[in-house]
Structure 1
Amino acid sequence: MHRRKRNILFILLIACCNGLFAQSSLKGWHLRDLKKDGFYGVSIDEAYQFMQGRKSTPLIVAVIDSGVDTAHEDLKNILWHNTREIPGNGIDDDHNGYIDDVYGWNFLGNKNGRNLKKTSDEKTRVYHRFKSKFAGKAIVEDSLTPGDRYAYDIWKKAAKEMNVSTDEQVELMFVEVTMKALKKHDKVLREEMGVEEYTLQELEKFQPATQAGKQAKLGYLTCCKLMTLEGDEKNTAILSDLDEYVSGKKESMEARDVAPPDYREQVVKDNYYDISDQFYGNNDVMGPNPLHGTHVSGIIAAERNNNTGIDGVADNVKIMMIRAIPDGDEYDKDVALAIKYAVDNGAKVINMSFGKALSPEKQWVDEAIRYAENKDVLIVHAAGNESEDVDQKDNFPNPDLQTFHNHANNFITVGASSDPQIGDGGIIADFSNYGHNNVDIFAPGVKIYSTLPGKSSYGFLRGTSMAAPVVTGIAAMIREYFPELSATQVKYAIQQSAFGCDSTIKIVKPGTKDKVSLTELCQTGGFVNAYRALEIASKLAPEDRKKTPAPVPAAPKPVMLRNNKLN
């Protein structure tokens, strides 16, 4: 799944490049202004200066993610509270089917408080789901029912992806060698430093007393530089993530022959193939690994002007956390129900920093997106981190609503941009997916500083997962200050805010050495800008439809939601 916290695979294969600026100078670069500060940021100060004197309306933003640290100093005051629920009384006070959903809901748990942390990828689930039906069989495709034909098509795709390439085997071997070396060095360093946990910054300042310690320090830092890890990365987190990556990769490679455990069945215990079985889970929105969701939430709306930590993009937002994204690929059912929960509980913008290459229950997600569209809710989705052209390669969820044979107008797909002064100097993140037709706009997604789990923890992460919440924050600002505008108009203002880069700066297509124009990589051919978006929004009126894309005629409202008919 492309929301992975570090995207270890491509990080390990990228050479280390020290940017022109120190770590501290890059904190918040994504909020800065090109003309004033020299960074390709979103001009947030200029945006707030433009809105000075205008009142805002409180807005709910839903974050569908891994979980959030509800006690974080920079988030605790901006978290949504369901005022219709009495916390901890074990009663569904608001009669919405979810007991004690104070901060949101967790679709990855059970009523006994257990939580699903890890799951397999979608290709593995699809492959084994239909293996007995199609593997080794002489399939006459023209004789299949529409449902079986769809199942067969996605099974063939999954089966193809289950093949392990030589490159993947070499990559895994490289990671294992790196991990073994790090663990060896870490043992020496912990003994010599007299601590169990340390950051890269602390290690760089440490002066070992022994030759073994000096060698361990050099070896450890060299490995970390090859992985482009940040100065505030802790040894425990680095080694834990590498362990998790290696075990997951090995399990994935072995999965063609042996189906992995059904972790969902062991923990959640819902009837997954029955969408009407929707009142499962629990109210633990933090979950076992809230790093990703905490970082995303901080980008959107970390409390502004409190002289603490960081400033989020939006200033009058309450974050509703919906936990639906495990370590591994998300489930379509959880995503569909998470969207519906967000809409039904008042969210006007939904951030979705996740994605995958297969969507067997796409009709459920399509119906949820259409449900949000009918309720005038904007969805912002990360384009993905595989350096792929999503015009050519599937990336789900997406606004192509196959169930309704049309395109959702309330859906924005965001790629990740960078800055010439960061990393390898590229203006577009080398890992970002792109697509002239299917990516709407780019937003900062490299070296983004935001909240991390822990009362006062902060750090850098990168990914389109970080770019999407930048756009979500801007969308929230527009809806705060111009609540009369529709989701379609908000999308229009964001798209029209796009600005290109200096013509002298070369744009390298992610994953290649080809140099292309920015217009080849996304619809708008540019980067989002908060000031320009708000300026455009200020000139729109509710009845002004000429400046906005014509809405798709409403189809009959679907029953939310229908059961999947795949066998």
Structure 2
Amino acid sequence: MRYLLLLTVSFGLSMASAQSSFRQVNKDSLKAWYFKDKATDGVAGISLNKAYQLLKNKKSTPIIVAVIDSGVDTTHEDLKSVLWHNTKEIPNNGIDDDGNGYVDDYYGWNFLGGKDGRNVEKTSSEKARVYHAYKDLYQGKKIDESKLSPEEKYRYKTWLQAAAEIEPSQENIAQLPMMQRVRSSLVAMDSVIRKESQKQEYTSDELEKLELHSSEAKMAKTKFLNLMKMVGLGSEAKNTTVLQMINEEVGRMEEEVSAKDKVPADMRAEIIKDNPNDINDKSYGNNDVMGTGSMHGTHVSGIIGASRGNGIGIDGIADNVKIMMIRAVPDGDEYDKDIALAIRYAVDNGAKVINMSFGKSFSPDKKWVDDAIKYAAAKDVIIVHAAGNDSKNIDSTDNFPSTTFLDGTVAKNVITVGASCDPSFANGYTSYFSNYGKNGVDIFAPGSQIYSTLPGGNSYGFEDGTSMASPVVAGLAALIRSYFPKLSAEQVKQAITNSATGLGNGVTTLKPNKEGVKEEVPLSNLCSTGGLLNAYGAVEAAEKLTNQAAKKIDATLPKSSFKNKTVN
């Protein structure tokens, strides 16, 4: 998500494209809005509470859900009990006890780590990496595509696209100096507050109650408090989290502006030290699944499986899951190699559901990821992927990983998810930032104002994005696999997509648009199912599929020849 609008508004600035996506509502009322039911609660949630009523007399089996993401806070009060532990591995003994090639992978694995314990926290865009990697090979040269292999032709076309898009936008060039000043001002204000209050971390609620005495500190408090409220994470989010988000956003702008002229720093070569061009070079990384930038992965993990019914924090979607964290998504674009190996790691270590809340516009080594998705399909693993947050049609705009493989076949074990919201606090049923696609997106699920776990041991807050919608679907997929374990990955997808709820005859929604342009369209124009996620309907569908399979098996069994016999 981009926070440029929030930053500028907080400092009294203006932007031509500024828009407000959400009406002012009581945040506490939104904390579990997406569990609710449209008919009984008047809120366009997923009817999760009703779904659990259907399951109350059924037994479940534990399901491992792999979260390929930025990392997870392994100390979090609402996640500790649901984190996957590799029972074949003795933690922190420096030995690969289970012989899987990964030493001390107790919670999962970190493909962004070095053997010395250091981690890659930030990477460049894939666009910049592709442009500079093949610039000398292709720029200014006449290339005869007829002489290229399919792999070489794909690489060449990828470079041409990167070269066409490497120029920074004029909007970013104009805004960057202003945003850098805003960031510096915020850091200075935070420093004043910390010094006078003697508190290094504080939430907006705590800041509001702080008694500061100097005029400088009072001014800093007012402005910083206004910013914290406008960012929209909620009253429990900390100053450090807000500053991290702002720093990352300005960093992305800085990188885009300099991408054409500046070769990206190769932190991978310095820290990870693998051969990035060899998918068979797998012996890299470390077991630090937390890293320093685990906000995104922690939030996603809580949505899927935060401990239900423990009286603290939130309830996750699924009630009998173990979260396997695989760290492969840095601040910046992920590497295809890491994603491909992360998928294979998840499959090989027992995950039956994989959540992938990330995406990018370039995929130079797409074949590796395609092969990994096919491997997951062969092992009956369902993958749930976020559609992206650019308000674009991914039928005509690249968003990787994609479900169409280089060989032209299509993945049957992947669900691509757009973000939905409720009209009571937003405009329409679809989030303004969400990508869409009549063919490329399967379903829309709640992705606006989603309350979940944040790093810090006991922190929670709101986030927006298809990154939040994807784990809602992944959590439901895990729930179905837990209670209906005989269903295949394709059948789980079928239960979820076939039960999607349409808006009704003639009901339209706003087509996602970051510029604020209002265009009413049927939901069927935005995704293949034309519907919103319905947990109740999906559970019903899963039960019917299970019963149908049982009847087919029963029909093939031979009739007993001992009926009515007596024993002498």
TM-score, normalised relative to structure 2: 0.90
Q: Which residue of 1 aligns with 2:532?
A: 527
In 2, distance between residues paired with 1:546 and 1:161? 56
Q: Which residue of 1 aligns with 2:557?
A: none
Residue 441 in 1 paired to residue 446 in 2? no
Superposed displacement of residue 320, structure 1: 0.9
Residue 294 in 1 paired to residue 298 in 2? yes
Instruction: Find 1:151's aligned residue among 149, 152, 155.
Output: 155
For residue 539 of structure 1, give the secondary structure of its aligned residue in structure 2. helix
Identity %: 55
For residue 158 of structure 1, give the secondary structure of its aligned residue in structure 2. helix
What are the ranges of 5 or more consecutive residues in structure 1 without an aligned counterpart? 1-5, 548-567
In 2, distance between residues paired with 1:175 and 1:506? 37
The answer (yes or no) to whether the contact 1:451–1:457 under 8 Å persists in 2 is: yes
Q: Report 1:38-77 matches (<5 A).
A: 38-77=42-81
C-alpha spacing 1:99/1:436, structure 2 compared with 1 (3 Å): same
In 1, distance between residues paired with 2:467 and 2:21? 22
In 1, distance between residues paired with 2:198 and 2:115? 42
Superposed displacement of residue 14, structure 1: 4.5
C-alpha spacing 1:202/1:15, structure 2 compared with 1 (3 Å): farther
In 2, distance between residues paired with 1:205 and 1:501? 44
Q: Which residue of 2 aligns with 1:406?
A: 409
**Amino acid across the alignment from 1:333:** K
In 2, distance between residues paired with 1:215 and 1:110? 43
Pick which of 147-156 and 488-497 moved more: 147-156
For residues 127-184 of structure 1, the C-alpha deviation after alignment (integer angstroms, 9 at most, x for no partner) is: 0110010112233333434333222110011111210121121332442243244345
Q: Which residue of 2 aligns with 1:172?
A: 176
Instruction: Find 2:474's aligned residue among 472, 475, 480.
Output: 472
C-alpha spacing 1:502/1:226, structure 2 compared with 1 (3 Å): farther
For residue 240 of structure 1, give the secondary structure of its aligned residue in structure 2. helix
In 1, distance between residues paired with 2:77 and 2:372? 33
In 2, distance between residues paired with 1:71 and 1:203? 25
Superposed displacement of residue 318, structure 1: 0.8
In 1, distance between residues paired with 2:128 and 2:402? 21
Pick which of 16-25 and 30-39 moved more: 16-25
Superposed displacement of residue 195, structure 1: 3.2
Q: Report 1:32-111 matches (<5 A).
A: 32-111=36-115
Instruction: Find 1:244's aligned residue among 236, 243, 248.
Output: 248
The answer (yes or no) to whether the contact 1:391–1:437 under 8 Å persists in 2 is: yes
**Amino acid across the alignment from 2:409:** N
Pick which of 170-179 and 314-323 moved more: 170-179
**Amino acid across the alignment from 2:459:** S
Instruction: Find 2:141's aligned residue among 137, 148, 153.
Output: 137
Pick which of 28-37 and 456-465 moved more: 28-37
In 2, distance between residues paired with 1:411 and 1:193? 50
In 2, distance between residues paired with 1:88 and 1:443? 39
For residue 182 of structure 1, give the secondary structure of its aligned residue in structure 2. helix
The answer (yes or no) to whether the contact 2:413–2:490 under 8 Å persists in 1 is: yes
Superposed displacement of residue 287, structure 1: 1.6
**Amino acid across the alignment from 1:39:** V
Q: Report 1:14-413 matches (<5 A).
A: 14-16=18-20, 19=23, 21-191=25-195, 193-206=197-210, 209=213, 212-224=216-228, 227-228=231-232, 230-403=234-407, 405-413=408-416
C-alpha spacing 1:537/1:67, structure 2 compared with 1 (3 Å): same
**Amino acid across the alignment from 1:408:** A
Q: Which residue of 1 aligns with 2:463?
A: 461
Superposed displacement of residue 427, structure 1: 1.7
The answer (yes or no) to whether the contact 2:50–2:536 under 8 Å persists in 1 is: yes
**Amino acid across the alignment from 2:373:** I
Superposed displacement of residue 94, structure 1: 1.5
**Amino acid across the alignment from 1:249:** M
C-alpha spacing 1:96/1:10, structure 2 compared with 1 (3 Å): farther
The answer (yes or no) to whether the contact 1:47–1:530 under 8 Å persists in 2 is: yes
**Amino acid across the alignment from 2:538:** A
The answer (yes or no) to whether the contact 2:447–2:465 under 8 Å persists in 1 is: yes
The answer (yes or no) to whether the contact 2:64–2:321 under 8 Å persists in 1 is: yes
Superposed displacement of residue 544, structure 1: 5.0
**Amino acid across the alignment from 2:413:** N
Q: Which residue of 1 aligns with 2:563?
A: none
In 2, distance between residues paired with 1:506 and 1:29? 21
The answer (yes or no) to whether the contact 2:232–2:462 under 8 Å persists in 1 is: no
For residues 274-301 of structure 1, the C-alpha deviation after alignment (integer angstroms, 9 at most, x for no partner) is: 1111121111111221111111111001
In 1, distance between residues paired with 2:334 and 2:313? 31
Residue 415 in 1 paired to residue 410 in 2? no
Residue 513 in 1 paired to residue 508 in 2? no
The answer (yes or no) to whether the contact 1:10–1:431 under 8 Å persists in 2 is: no
For residue 324 of structure 2, give the secondary structure of its aligned residue in structure 1. strand
**Amino acid across the alignment from 1:105:** W
For residues 15-58 of structure 1, the C-alpha deviation after alignment (integer angstroms, 9 at most, x for no partner) is: 45663531111111111122222221111111111111111111
Residue 492 in 1 paired to residue 494 in 2? yes
Superposed displacement of residue 10, structure 1: 6.4
The answer (yes or no) to whether the contact 1:15–1:226 under 8 Å persists in 2 is: no
The answer (yes or no) to whether the contact 2:73–2:294 under 8 Å persists in 1 is: yes
C-alpha spacing 1:504/1:198, structure 2 compared with 1 (3 Å): farther
C-alpha spacing 1:53/1:370, structure 2 compared with 1 (3 Å): same
Q: Which residue of 2 aligns with 1:3?
A: none
Question: Number of residue pairs matched?
Answer: 540
**Amino acid across the alignment from 2:464:** R
Superposed displacement of residue 208, structure 1: 5.5
For residues 98-136 of structure 1, the C-alpha deviation after alignment (integer angstroms, 9 at most, x for no partner) is: 112111111111222111111111001100110010112
Instruction: Find 1:431's aligned residue among 418, 424, 433.
Output: 433
Q: Which residue of 2 aligns with 1:564?
A: none
What are the ranges of 5 or more consecutive residues in structure 2 without an aligned counterpart? 8-16, 553-568
In 1, distance between residues paired with 2:214 and 2:20? 28
Superposed displacement of residue 9, structure 1: 4.6
Q: Which residue of 1 aligns with 2:543?
A: 538
In 2, distance between residues paired with 1:86 and 1:212? 53
In 1, distance between residues paired with 2:20 and 2:437? 27
RMSD: 2.4
TM-score, normalised relative to structure 1: 0.90
The answer (yes or no) to whether the contact 1:32–1:40 under 8 Å persists in 2 is: yes
Pick which of 287-296 and 432-441 moved more: 287-296
Superposed displacement of residue 191, structure 1: 4.9
In 2, distance between residues paired with 1:534 and 1:229? 31
C-alpha spacing 1:11/1:539, structure 2 compared with 1 (3 Å): farther
Pair member with larger Rg? 2
Q: Which residue of 2 aligns with 1:7?
A: 2
In 1, distance between residues paired with 2:233 and 2:482? 36
**Amino acid across the alignment from 2:379:** K
**Amino acid across the alignment from 2:544:** K
C-alpha spacing 1:142/1:271, structure 2 compared with 1 (3 Å): same
C-alpha spacing 1:18/1:194, structure 2 compared with 1 (3 Å): farther
C-alpha spacing 1:276/1:545, structure 2 compared with 1 (3 Å): farther
In 1, distance between residues paired with 2:454 and 2:60? 28
For residues 372-403 of structure 1, the C-alpha deviation after alignment (integer angstroms, 9 at most, x for no partner) is: 11111100000001111101101000111214
In 1, distance between residues paired with 2:465 and 2:277? 32
Superposed displacement of residue 529, structure 1: 1.1
